[in-house]
Amino acid sequence: MVEVKQNGIRINSTTIANYLGYFEEAFLISKAKRYNVKGRKYIQSPVKYYYTDVGLRNAKLGFRQQEETHIMENVLYCDLIRRGYDVDVGVVEQNIKTDEGKKIRKQLEVDFVVNRGEQRYYIQSALSIVNPEKREQEIASLIRIPDSFGKIVVVRDYIKPWKDNNGILYIGVEQFLLDEHAVML
């Protein structure tokens, strides 16, 4: 049991777990489990939490923290749940060599591993991919997934949906949210 002391108050991990459970039961937050895409198994921790109502989140924070990336990801998560998908957060491992020749293992995140019956999609949420470096960063996890399920990058801007040479679909968030069949383009 881990104990944290904040402002003279001691809180242990059991108390935190209980409160998170209460928030889930009250439908204030929703939990997404971490899924090892290549190993095809769930990772026990850490899980990721999303607010079920971004407006309540913003109100609680006094509308001070308007991080578009987090808000867009949260909205996409809630919409995918509304569509009836099971939504997890994916992890893809990458082995790289440092400049010194040392091998290290790095974990890349796939924002959403989305399942419903036989359907599966891997989705990245990105505000913008205007420069090549940012685009490469966003698709780094997707191109390392060794299966043929759909891979999608949702961006903030209104764009004409298109696919790259890797078969990854790029689509604007507005189109994605308004057209439930957009994942099948």
Q: What is the pLDDT of residues 4-21, one digit of tens each?
A: 666 777 888 888 889 999
Task: Output the pTM of the full model.
Answer: 0.86
Q: What is the pLDDT of residues 108-121, one digit of tens each?
A: 999 999 999 999 99
Angle, CA 124 vertex, CA 122 and CA 130 arms, to 5°: 140
- Helix (H) / strand (E) containing 75: helix 68-82
At 15 the three-state DSSP class reads helix
At 101 the three-state DSSP class reads coil
**List of domains in the chain:** 27-184 (3.40.1350)
